[in-house]
Structure 1
């Protein structure tokens, strides 16, 4: 489908809770972008709001702009709808709290030192099925196992439908397999530049959850949705490419194969572990 054939453009952006916020725009008006309330960045999962600095909560809840490049609109998983990830701005400046702004600043910091961050992400998720009481229960896949594949691991074909949709839309899936517990799956995408990888995973997650919903199931990436089962992981594989295109994390002459830079990165993560936990593992 050519971009001029889209009936609607679905403009999405990741918020601070990793939720996909956005709007549908008629294609004829999409080039001008759209606007959202800045104060959405003060929302919590339960819809409570707090006067967080930088969100305009006490300043009249002002708008922010969402811009995107029309050439980046890609086929979506809804008929006649293209999808694109937008950037958030306020008064012509990037919104500091916007996740894409935060990531872009981190990438720029590495690039100023001569390195290009490369990231690969492995997702883990549970498929849930409806229970008789109107809630959700674990996917009934008694033949599932870690590294399981086939109909015994995915009897209703939910993950197969996600994989087929991803392939049709050009997502760069590296592998999909059963994880440790019943109804749990690992979905891995190929590594890429940090921003490209983050955008790809953001859209893939959104697509996967919606395909599952269309098939009457719930796909959840929550850290531990089933207390008696194991948790879902999110593996972020980071490497740094130097000016020659080599992996700066590797030193084949070292006994462990790690460069001094790689060890500095590990030391930095250990040093900031407590602060990182507040953002990466708040519960």
Structure 2
């Protein structure tokens, strides 16, 4: 499992023997130091390097430079306002505690050398590296996504625990959509016909896009990204990629890069890949299910399982925390107006706050497993969520459950996806719940919560300026 230590300044004196250097050069993903980084870039003839970081939406931001400058202690900066920008590129008005830096000062990009890898779809030899965001004194900027997740992982470590996660990401392939006023349509596969829905786990459905899937695998392998499984989901040309379990920061990095990889592979074949939560009317939305477990930092034992193999008290407290806190953090897992269209009846999505053993109608499912692999699956996040923030808040919910010894309600074996919806029904409702939960401030950080909610309110106001076809159809001549 990769550890994410802060790298030394570029150009620092480092020593490594020839064997270690050769191993580093052969690595597909990540190097231990700057000496190895220089050798790694030179061995591949890398001309350019992309220094990237996720913004609040999970969009790739950063700078590109010649590789020679990257290894020569060049300072990399971004304006602080970049992390107060909405998905539409606007800057919300200041309200409440949401404020801008009056100077819009610089924030620094600090490369994490464990993430160095190639950009396989570029024609010129290009590498990429994920960066943390620090201020001019070198301190982590608390409201940036990667640092928020690091803060939560550190909170686990402070309590003697280590979280383990495994995300599952759903997405649609769609025909190119030039005019955003036009509804999205399924793409044509190798048969020349648009693929139809109702093909869960269909191998033929995947085979319709064999060449594209091959590119996804090849691009992923070149970056050192490991896909566990790929399946066809219920919707037409809806796919799901499952990742192997591991360290939350490493898995968030992988989701961040996978999204980019899948989009690029699809674009190469003249179609789009979208991670919108609800891209097409009348069809299932796309989720990012998160499997979560916790191990003891010293022994490596799963704390969800007692010595006799039964669920432990900590397991039940963790589930209780998920039930109490996840609905209050839903805005980090369903971050847009469109996200709440997925949370609708009869769309194979949990609308409740229940838990159960191997029950896919519940928000929190405990899959059937051996005692040492006992885990909880959070089925509420949508695939449009920033993976760093969805993982951070979902893990924070469980940790708060342990710390506060919260008891869950009884597990259910019934189908519980009918009746009243037990979750926030709109973006603003979710924002208010998130802001109102004081326990989040210690684990996630007040600066992040204030900043995030200010941006979400700004996005809602932008959405409200758009008149929808529904309004023109039913209101134009009737009211």
Question: TM-score under structure 1 normalisation?
Answer: 0.90
The answer to whether the Cα contact below 8 Å between 2:197 and 2:234 also exists between their aligned partners in 1 is no
Question: Relative to total residues, which structure has the larger helix share, 1 or 2?
Answer: 2
Contact 2:112 2:132 in 1 (8 A): no
- Partner in structure 1 of residue 324 of structure 2: 271
2:167 is equivalent to residue 127 of structure 1: no
Query: 1:196 aligns to what?
Result: 250
2:82 paired with 1:43: no
| CA shift for structure 1 position 205 | 1.2
User: 1: CA distance between counterparts of 2:177 and 2:257?
Assistant: 28
2:116 to 73, 94, 102: 73
CA shift in 2, pair 1:194/1:19, >3 Å:
same
Matched, 1:88 2:141: no
Distance change (3 Å), C-alpha of 1:25 and 1:258: farther
SS of residue matched to 1:192: coil
Structure 2 distance, partners of 1:62, 1:53, is 21
- CA RMSD for the aligned pairs? 2.4
- 1:235-250 matches, within 5 Å, as 235-242=289-296, 243-250=298-305
SS at match of 1:94: coil
Question: Secondary structure of 2:202's partner?
Answer: coil
Moved more, 225-234 or 260-269: 260-269
Within 1, Cα distance between the matches of 2:216 and 2:277? 20
Structure 1 alignment gaps of length 5 or more: none
Displacement after TM superposition at 1:120 (Å): 0.8
* Residue 102 of structure 1: aligned partner: 148
Q: What displacement does 1:117 show?
A: 1.1
Structure with a larger share of its residues in strand:
1
Residue number among 260, 270, 278 corresponding to 1:224 in the alignment: 278
Structure 1's 194 and 33: CA in aligned 2 closer, same or farther, altered over 3 A?
A: farther
Shift of 1:143: 7.8
Q: Deviation string for 1:230-281 (max 9, x for gaps)? A: 0001011111121211222233736xx4222121111112112332112222
CA contact 2:118–2:222 (8 Å) conserved in 1: no
Cα distance change on mapping 1:216 and 1:54 into 2, 3 Å: farther
132 and 172 in structure 1: CA distance in 2 versus 1, 3 angstrom threshold: closer
How far apart are the structure 1 equivalents of 2:97 and 2:109? 17
Give, in whole Å, the separation in 1 of the partners of 2:307 and 2:170: 31
Task: Return closer, same or farther for 1:173/1:54 CA change in 2, 3 Å cut-off.
Answer: farther
User: Kindly tell me: are residues 261 and 106 of structure 1, through their superposed partners in 2, closer, same or farther at Cα, counting changes over 3 Å?
Assistant: same
Give 5+ residue unaligned stretches, structure 2.
1-24, 26-39, 188-193, 338-479
Which residue does 2:53 correspond to in 1? 13
Match in the other structure for 1:118 = 164
Distance 1:55 1:40 in 2: 14
Q: How many residues align?
A: 281
State the match for 1:147 in structure 2. Answer: 201
Question: Highest Rg: 1 or 2?
Answer: 2
User: In 2, Cα distance between the equivalents of 1:273 and 1:229?
Assistant: 25
User: Mean Cα displacement is larger for which, 169-178 or 264-273?
Assistant: 264-273
CA shift in 2, pair 1:55/1:95, >3 Å = farther
Cα distance between partner residues in 2 of 1:12 and 1:46: 19
Check conservation: 1:76, 1:83, Cα contact below 8 A.
Answer: yes
Matches of 1:58 and 1:69 in 2, distance apart?
Answer: 26
Change (3 A) 1:46 1:132: closer
The equivalent of 2:314 in structure 1 is: 261
Which shows bigger deviation, 24-33 or 211-220? 24-33
TM-score (norm 2): 0.55
Q: 1:278 to 1:150 in 2, by over 3 A?
A: same
Cα pair 1:11 1:22 within 8 Å, conserved: yes
